[in-house]
């Protein structure tokens, strides 16, 4: 069995996360038991939700255990199998974590899923045709429930969730406006992802200024908003929401370091009779097949062309993850392992 390099959560962050919270170790891969498969990881997924799990306190997921491999999604290849449903060479997606190999009990429901790479690149199963894409689908279709002609807005617009959201909303006849950081990301959102407009939040020092930009980009107001960030951006969007607007709350990356995120005008939720609903996509596995089918079709037909930021080597994962939290990535952040 191969040597396996792993990245563990060594200690919990106090305030901002740092590379010192992680530890790289090398271990022996255990022999396979009946029903298990050995997966060689090709790509690791880095996602904002992992920051909340590094804390000991209550988050929307169980805390990441100390001294254990950092948990997260992977795509890779079966290299050895003691399970009749999987053969060496099968391309798979699972939750193998920040390591080069994982031993998986493939009899556990949902532990490992075979994927077809004929028309969809393997890495996209961690982004557009994976958890981020399904996240965009659920928030848009099940919570916002858009109607043709409505205006949709999403923060973190050029990330893995945002790029899928744009394609899905355009397919439903909506005007789609993004909020992203920097001119390059905004240009990419409009030129390649199909957004009708994109606002660079870095040009705005406060919610009032961002609200004016939103008014220009959304002359008919905002009917649906997909929230990834919180803070000043949520304040600005709330001032532009139409009556009976819907807000799907997916993430609050502005508050992941533990600082409170007050809302300046919560009364607007009542005044405009807004629906504000948080969700965790892993709690809605029943919709995944439908969502993945549509997302796979969008990628295969070129209507969704997601971009990826790829760090090289398992040891690069911590710094790439810290960069993701600061918005340094362009599109879906991955680590190429092998």
The domain that holds 40 is classified in CATH as: 3.90.180.10
For residue 58, pLDDT beyond 80: no
Instruction: Give the separation between CA 140 and CA 153, rounded to whole angstroms.
Output: 10
Same domain, yes or no: 70 and 140: no
User: Model confidence over 156-210: pLDDT tens digits?
Assistant: 999 999 999 999 999 999 999 999 999 999 999 999 999 999 999 999 999 999 9
Residue 297 forms part of a structural domain:
no
Number of domains present in the structure of the chain = 2
Task: Give the pLDDT score at 119.
Answer: 86
Same domain, yes or no: 326 and 263: no
Task: Give the pLDDT score at 61.
Answer: 72
Average per-residue pLDDT for the chain: 94
Residue 299 forms part of a structural domain:
no
Instruction: Give the separation between CA 319 and CA 317, rounded to whole angstroms.
Output: 6
Task: Give the pLDDT score at 52.
Answer: 87
Task: Give the pLDDT score at 57.
Answer: 79
Same domain, yes or no: 318 and 266: no
Same domain, yes or no: 238 and 156: yes
Task: Give the pLDDT score at 257.
Answer: 73
Same domain, yes or no: 112 and 136: no
Instruction: Give the separation between CA 136 and CA 162, rounded to whole angstroms.
Output: 7
pLDDT band of residue 246 (cuts 50, 70, 90) is: very high
Same domain, yes or no: 76 and 200: no
Task: Give the pLDDT score at 173.
Answer: 98
In this predicted model, which residue has the larger pLDDT, 253 or 136? 136
Residue 295 forms part of a structural domain:
no
Task: Give the pLDDT score at 206.
Answer: 96
Same domain, yes or no: 116 and 142: no
Across residues 104-127, what is the average pLDDT? 93
Across residues 14-25, what is the average pLDDT? 95
Task: Give the pLDDT score at 110.
Answer: 84
Closest CA to 227 of 261, 256, 250, 257: 250
| % of residues, the chain, pLDDT over 90 | 85
Residue 116 forms part of a structural domain:
yes
Task: Give the pLDDT score at 35.
Answer: 96
Range of the domain at 192: 131-282
């Amino acid at each position: 069995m191969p040597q396996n390099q792993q990245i563990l959560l060594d200690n919990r962050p106090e305030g901002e996360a740092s590379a010192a919270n992680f530890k790289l170790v090398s271990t022996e891969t255990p022999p396979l038991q009946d029903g298990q498969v050995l997966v060689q990881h090709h790509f690791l997924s880095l996602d904002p939700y992992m920051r909340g799990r590094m804390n000991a306190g209550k988050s929307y997921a169980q805390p990441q255990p100390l001294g254990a491999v950092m948990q997260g999604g992977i795509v890779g290849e079966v290299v050895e199998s003691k399970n009749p449903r999987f053969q060496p060479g099968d391309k798979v997606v699972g939750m193998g974590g920040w390591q080069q190999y994982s031993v998986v009990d493939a009899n556990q429901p949902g532990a490992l899923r075979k994927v077809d790479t004929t028309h969809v690149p393997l890495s996209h199963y961690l982004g557009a045709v994976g958890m981020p894409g399904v996240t965009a689908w659920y928030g848009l279709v099940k919570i916002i429930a858009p109607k043709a002609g409505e205006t949709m807005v999403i923060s973190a617009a050029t990330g893995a969730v945002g790029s899928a959201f744009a394609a899905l909303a355009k397919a439903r006849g909506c005007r789609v406006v993004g909020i992203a950081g920097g001119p390059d990301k905004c240009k990419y959102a409009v030129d390649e992802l199909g957004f009708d407009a994109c606002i660079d939040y870095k040009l705005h020092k406060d919610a009032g200024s961002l609200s004016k930009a939103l008014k220009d980009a959304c002359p008919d107001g905002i009917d649906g908003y997909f929230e990834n960030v919180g803070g000043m951006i949520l304040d600005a969007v709330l001032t532009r929401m139409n009556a009976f607007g819907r807000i799907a709350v997916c993430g609050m990356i502005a508050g992941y370091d533990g600082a409170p995120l007050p809302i300046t005008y919560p009364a607007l939720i009542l005044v405009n009779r807004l629906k504000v609903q948080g969700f965790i996509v892993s709690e809605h596995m029943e919709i995944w097949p439908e969502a993945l089918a549509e997302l796979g079709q969008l990628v295969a037909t070129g209507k969704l062309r997601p971009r990826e930021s790829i760090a090289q080597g398992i040891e690069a994962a911590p710094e790439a993850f810290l960069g993701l939290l600061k918005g340094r990535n362009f599109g879906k952040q991955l680590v190429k392992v092998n």
